[in-house]
Structure 1
Amino acid sequence: MPRVLFICSRNRLRSPTAEQVFASWPGVQSDSAGLSPDAEQVLSLEQVQWAELIFVMEAVHGRRLKQRFAAALKGKRVICLDIPDNYDFMQLELVRLLEQKVGALLR
């Protein structure tokens, strides 16, 4: 059962949408967090260690993730989805984009 972590800046729109979408997929465990200090769920070392596959929404998130958690990322796959911060929580277009980009990697 893959353990999948979704990361954005503030964990309010994109990453919690992804967590919710893929939580209902059979055989997938999902979680989400943000890298900003004011995130709803600030990314923790435990989350990084838990994850088998990590998706970041933008390249800047990948850079920040590597700066803060370099040692914990050894052997982990980090994938940038290139999804800009211009969607609302559970917006249909965002859900479809996530299913298209992430779904193919989880099948």
Structure 2
Amino acid sequence: MNILFVCSQNRLRSPTAEQVFAHYPGIETASAGTDPTCASPVCPDLLAWADVVVVMENAHRLRLHQRFRSQLKGKRLVCLDIPDVFPYMDEALVALLKARASRFLR
């Protein structure tokens, strides 16, 4: 299963999620951002690769639907409702990611 994690800047939440779930059996991970100035922006190729797209906030879901509606057809899109208040690999962020995303990654 290919999982794409998405946040705004692709600096804190989605890269943390990518690392946390990268070693789960049967799962390949990637991360990207919705802001065009981020280092790894969401693109059609990443969306084509992903079986599941996991966003951190509803605003990310809306941005993806606005820019990539046709590429999202048939994709499972999950929102974890995790605010942008955590540093990269923060213990609380890791715990929250595991609590909210693990059920979608089985």
Shift of 1:53: 0.4
Deviations 1:5-53 (A, max 9, x none): 0000000000000001110111100000001022121111100011000
Q: Distance in 2 between matches of 1:86 and 1:40?
A: 20
1:95 aligned onto 2:106: no
Amino acid at match of 1:11: N
Match of 2:78 in 1: 79
Q: TM-score, normalised by structure 1?
A: 0.96
TM-score of the pair, normalised by structure 2: 0.97
Q: Which residue of 2 aligns with 1:31?
A: 30
* SS state at 2:61 partner: helix
Paired letter, 1:31: A
Residue identity matched to 2:102: G
Q: State the alpha-carbon separation in 2 of the partners of residues 77 and 48 from structure 1.
A: 11
Q: Aligned partners of 1:103, 1:28: CA distance in 2, in Å? A: 11
What is the distance in 1 between the residues matched to 2:36 and 2:53? 19
After TM superposition, list the pairs within 5 Å mapping 1:50-61 onto structure 2. 50-61=49-60
Query: Kindly, what percent of the aligned residue pairs are identical?
Result: 49
Matched, 1:4 2:3: yes
Where has structure 1 moved over 2 Å in runs of 4 or more?
Answer: none
Task: Name stretches of at least 5 consecutive residues in structure 1 with no aligned partner.
Answer: none
Count of aligned pairs between the two proteins: 106
